[in-house]
Amino acid sequence: MESLARKFTPAKWTADKIPDGETISADAVTADLRTTNNALSTWACTADETDVKEVALAFASTINRPDKICLILLSRLELEGFGIQVVRTPGDTKVLDLIPRHHDLIELGLVRLGRLAESIANQARQDKLCYIFSKEQFCKIVCEAINRKRLNLEELQDDFKNEIRRKLSEIALSD
């Protein structure tokens, strides 16, 4: 079944923060569900971890410092059941083969955004389809993509580029 992955901050959505049946905190919504033009960005993928890593890779060119990355996979069917429209739009990534994976959730009003938030909270509460890649894991994903010529080091930003350059040198030395 097709899922749509979104970057999120799990600490704001855990059962500690949002016990079952209680109100979702506005902090969680304003941190992770900030819309632009009433739309939210997501990436199509399956629940296979290798595929989720592809989505993580899509973010490589938009981040500017080495860090962990957390993703939650949402059911496209469930979202459409909430009346949320899902449209394919070009993704903001330098990994060319990942561009078509990008989808926007569009025309999000308060009610639909609320349903989306409840869906995220339900999953996060059960730790369902939540993926976290440590800084080291994320850097390895990116290094591998560079070595396979799917991504150019020079297209990365600032501190993240420096970190990846250092990791690539370490890999080259160990080979």
Binding site for another protein (CB under 8 A): 7, 9-12, 14-17, 27, 30-31, 59, 63-70, 127, 130, 132, 134-137, 158-160
CA 3 to CA 93: how far, in whole Å? 19
Closer to another protein by CB, 44 or 70: give it.
70
Structure tokens given for 170: 């370490």
Q: How far is the CB of 30 from another protein (least distance, A)?
A: 7
Where do we find the tokens 């899922």? Answer: 3
Closer to another protein by CB, 43 or 160: give it.
160
Q: Return the closest-CA partner of residue 156 out of 91, 71, 69, 95.
A: 95
Residue type, 109: G
Closer to another protein by CB, 51 or 67: give it.
67
Residue type, 44: A
Where do we find the tokens 């850097």? Answer: 139
Q: How far is the CB of 41 from another protein (least distance, A)?
A: 13
- Go through the chain and tell me how many residues it has: 175
Q: How far is the CB of 81 from another protein (least distance, A)?
A: 26
Q: How far is the CB of 135 from another protein (least distance, A)?
A: 6
The answer to whether the CB of 121 falls within 8 A of the CB of 113 is no
CA 104 to CA 69: how far, in whole Å? 20
Q: How far is the CB of 157 from another protein (least distance, A)?
A: 9
Closer to another protein by CB, 79 or 131: give it.
131
Closer to another protein by CB, 44 or 60: give it.
60
